[in-house]
Structure 1
Amino acid sequence: MRNFSWTYFTMTGNVESFLLYKEMDQFPRTEELGAFAGVDDEPAAVAGAADDSGSL
Structure 2
Amino acid sequence: MMDFTWKVFSQTGNIDTYLLFKELEKENQDIPGNQDDELAEVEFPYL
Structure 2: which 5+ residue stretches go unaligned? 39-47
TM-score of the superposition, structure 1-length normalised? 0.49
TM-score of the superposition, structure 2-length normalised? 0.57
Which has the larger Rg?
1
Structure 1: which 5+ residue stretches go unaligned? 34-56
User: 4+ runs of 1 displaced by more than 3 Å?
Assistant: none
RMSD: 1.8
Number of residue equivalences: 33
Q: Choose between structure 1 and 2 for higher RCO, CA contacts under 8 A separated by at least 6 residues.
A: 2
